[in-house]
Amino acid sequence: MLVAAFAALASGVGQAQNLYRSVGPDGRVTYSDRAIGPNSKPSTEAVSNTDGPASSANAQLPYELRQTANRYPVTIYTGKDCGPCDEARSHLQNRGIPFNERTIDTSSDVAALRKLSGQDSLPFATIGNQHLKGFGADSWDQYLSAAGYPKQPQLPKNYKAPAAKPLTMPAPVAAEAAKPAERPARITAPAAPPPGASTPDNPAGLRF
C-alpha cells in the first residue's frame, strides 16, 4: 500500500515551490506561490518549503541514492527544546538519509507550518508529498523503505548535510528609488542696515 501511495505522488514531487506569506492592509494573512509586486503595499515573506531535487548536496550521493533523493526529497520541521525532533533528526542521520531541515521559531513559521501540514505540532516531515506527523521510528522506516531509501547508510564520508534554515524568511526588499540631490541653500548677504540704525559695531546708531 505504501509503494502504491508513493507511485501516485511521484508526478508531483518535483513541483515543490516557495510559498509567499502576504499581510494585507487589513491584517489578513494569505499564502501564494507568487510574490507580490514591488508596487503593492502588503508585506511579503518567502516560505522555504524544500530545496527540491536541485539540492546541491545531492550531487555528492551515489547514483541510486541520488535518484531516490531527487524523486522523494526528505524534509523535517523542528523546533527548539523538542526531544522528539532531536530523535527524528538522529534517526535520519543514523540511517544515512539525506534531508533538509526547516526550523519553526517565529509566529510566521507556525502559520506557514499550519498552512503546509494542517497542524502545528512537531516534529513534522515530508517524504516527497507524503506527510509524516509526529515521530515513530517504525512508521518512518516503512515510508522511507517504500520510497526506495536504503536500510543501511550509503552516504559518502565527505557528505555535508545542508544547514538547517528557518521555514519563513523575509523577502528581498526593493531598494528605494534614489532621491534627487537637494540643492544647497542659497546664501545671501545680510541687508545693509538703514541709516541711523544700531549695529554691533555702532550700537548707538551714530552716523558719520
pLDDT in tens, 165-190: 999 987 666 555 556 666 655 655 56
Q: Higher model confidence: residue 90 or residue 14? A: 90
- Domains of the chain by residue range: 2-15+51-170
Model pLDDT, residue 163: 94
Model pLDDT, residue 132: 96
Model pLDDT, residue 202: 53
Residues contacting 29, CB < 8 A, separation 6+: 21, 22, 23, 111
How many angstroms separate the CA atoms of 98 and 162, rounded? 9
Q: Quick one: which of 156, 29, 30, 17 has its CA closest to 98?
A: 156
State the average pLDDT over residues 47-66. 69
How many angstroms separate the CA atoms of 18 and 207, rounded? 83
Condensed to tens digits (0 to 9), the pLDDT of residues 2-51 reads: 544 444 444 444 444 445 555 555 555 554 444 545 444 444 455 555 45
Q: Quick one: which of 119, 127, 121 has its CA closest to 97?
A: 127
How is residue 75 written as a grid cell?
524534509
Condensed to tens digits (0 to 9), the pLDDT of residues 100-157 reads: 999 999 999 999 999 999 998 999 999 999 999 999 999 999 999 999 999 999 999 9
Q: What class is the 2-15+51-170 domain?
A: alpha beta
> What's the pTM?
0.61
Q: Higher model confidence: residue 27 or residue 75? A: 75
* CB distance 119 to 94 below 8 Å: no
